[in-house]
């Protein structure tokens, strides 16, 4: 340990000349600080832009590309008990 012995001057209150420095910028709220940190990170901004584009495409896309759903009677049905066709076994003649 050290041989330091406290003196009464060490516990004296601070005077005006020894005052703590004044903050030079205002404090930020939680969300303002989060937004500032996000905008300083270029990868995060790029990812946010990508997510925004994906969200836009999923909401606006169906307006331009409509798919007509088929009824059960219009769907092409295959027999249920036929094995899958492979390249090694030719299909049965129809």
CA distances from 24 to 27, 53, 69, 88 (A): 9, 39, 64, 79
Confidence band, pLDDT 50/70/90 cuts, at residue 66:
confident
Residue 18 has pLDDT above 60, yes or no: no
Range of the domain at 40: 27-59
Confidence at residue 2, expressed as pLDDT on a 0 to 100 scale: 77
pLDDT at residue 46, as a whole number: 97
Does any domain span residue 40? yes
Asked whether residue 45 is assigned to any structural domain, the reply reads yes
12 within domain boundaries:
no
pLDDT score recorded for residue 87: 56
Lowest-confidence pick of 5-19, 50-64, 68-82: 68-82
Beta carbons of 79 and 85 less than 8 angstroms apart: no
Q: Provide the number of structural domains found in the chain.
A: 1
Check: pTM over 0.75? Answer yes or no: no
| Contact indicator for 35, 41 with CB cutoff of 8 Å | no
Average pLDDT over residues 14-30: 74
Domain presence at residue 31: yes
């Amino acid at each position: 340990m050290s041989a330091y012995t406290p003196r009464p001057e060490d516990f004296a209150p601070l005077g005006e000349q020894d005052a703590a420095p004044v903050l030079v910028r205002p404090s930020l709220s939680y969300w303002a600080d989060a937004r500032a940190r996000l905008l300083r990170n270029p990868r995060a901004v790029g990812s946010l832009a990508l997510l925004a584009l994906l969200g836009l495409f999923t909401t606006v896309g169906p307006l331009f590309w409509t798919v007509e759903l088929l009824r059960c009677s219009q769907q092409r049905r295959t027999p249920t008990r036929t094995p899958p066709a492979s390249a090694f076994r030719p299909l049965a003649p129809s």
